[in-house]
Amino acid sequence: MATTGLQHVAAMYAGVVAPPLIVGAAVGLSPKELTFLTGACLFTAGLATFLQTLGFWKIGARLPFVNGVTFAGVAPMIAVVNSTDDKKDALPIIFGAVIVAGVLGFIAAPFFSKLVRFFPPVVTGTVITLIGVSLMPVAFGWAQGPNPAAKDYGSTTYLTLAGITLVIVLLLRRFTTGFVKQIAVLLGMVIGTLVAIPFGVTDFSPIGDADVIGFPTPFHFGAPQFAAAAIVSLCVVMVVSMTESTADMLALGEIVERPADEKTIAAGLRADTLGSALSPLFNGFMCSAFAQNIGLVAMTKIRSRYVVATGGGFLVLMGLCPMAASLIAVVPRPVLGGAGVVLFGSVAASGIQTLVKANLERDNNVLIVAVSLAVGLIPIAAPEFYHAFPETAKIILDSGISTGCVAAVILNLLFNHIGRSEDADDVTAPMEPGGEIRQTRAVAGSSTSAGSSAAGVH
């Protein structure tokens, strides 16, 4: 139980620590504060996993689900950071938005489980693809070095280290199997860090400054603040997260031969949303199911939810040990950049894989994907596109995931639902719970190595 639980942690560890690293770097946290934020996210991921696997009352799908920070929230949170004048207020604003989104999601869980038909592969695939593509600039920034203002930013040394790490991860994925293959990204970061030592870019001071035992002090970064634009943006992310979790539950239910019915989905969504609402109390972010662990369940044939709960226990222990959390702060940014190319690229690939199941031979669906991707890519391709809009509106508009998701849902309703006959030849039938979405996520979950939770996306 211990070894298989650790395997689940290893498979999703990189996906859990990446969001706090990205957001923490955007806020400008010191290495010690970054270690604290990473540990807090590990701790809250463990608590959310307990809620999902063990559950209580009508909360928890009681399936072998690993929960952690969803990738879907990263881009909107970065938008909040960029629009906040005083960076010290950024995290409290994010935490306040996550709390509201979690509470509203908890209330909506039983109703949302009935609305899956409005989120077919053409919508979910587009959103997952946007999540991966939106995060790629982060990986490229990491690859160039830790400080954009430094003279050596983007030097050949940094880019070489990023390239070496990328090659190591690819070789491990190609020539290894089983457990080693599952943790290829983690091993790539470890080896890349060792390679970086002779270049003088590895800083071990975070380990020396970290305590062996610690606790994520509630509201360490300040009391939550509630900003309307940030709340709207994170509520959109919550809808995306709930959609992905629903798909994951349907897929995992088939794998463990316990099909997820409407009651199970509602209970699972309550666990996701309650975990998200409680997470900011301990300085964590929005939580969602990790799809790559579904593939691990399918591969190992170990279907016990108590094994995954054991993995949640390890996450909690790591969160209570700042020294363990500080290890990720040692990894040089270029090494993270090389691993991030695989990590974030795999999320985008998972979205493309979902789109393959979206009947793109239909002109309507091609149009939905085309326009939604275009809208979602505006903040990346033309960062100043919304410069004339009010700052509050820019928090939402500068998140390609949020705008792309809204566009995909509206276009899907317009072309595939409103005023259309259910049996019309030119309309792609909406996906019913337990139908095509289950097949889609089963495939995506078994082949994704980075967390579409990231999609899960996350």
Distances 243 to 123, 136, 190, 248, 437 between C-alpha atoms, Å: 10, 23, 34, 9, 10
Contacts of residue 232, Cβ cutoff 8 Å, sequence gap at least 6: 396
Say if pTM beats, i.e. exceeds, 0.85: no
- Three-state DSSP class for 87? helix
Distances 219 to 215, 278, 285 between C-alpha atoms, Å: 12, 11, 12
Would you place residue 164 in the very low, low, confident or very high pLDDT band (cuts 50, 70, 90)?
very high
What integer pLDDT is reported at residue 167 of this predicted model?
Answer: 94
What integer pLDDT is reported at residue 210 of this predicted model?
Answer: 66
What integer pLDDT is reported at residue 281 of this predicted model?
Answer: 92
Report, as an integer, the average pLDDT of 397-410.
80
pLDDT at residue 267 tops 70: yes
What integer pLDDT is reported at residue 391 of this predicted model?
Answer: 67
What integer pLDDT is reported at residue 116 of this predicted model?
Answer: 67
- Residue, of 349 and 306, whose pLDDT is higher: 306
pLDDT tens for each residue of 245-264: 876 777 677 677 777 778 88
Q: Among 52-66, 125-139, 155-169, which stretch is predicted with the lowest mean pLDDT?
A: 125-139
User: What are the structural domain ranges in the chain?
Assistant: 2-447
116 token code pair: 């899956």
Whether the CB-CB separation of 30 and 292 falls below 8 Å is answered with no
The winner for highest mean pLDDT among 148-152, 207-211, 387-391 is: 148-152
Report, as an integer, the average pLDDT of 430-452.
42
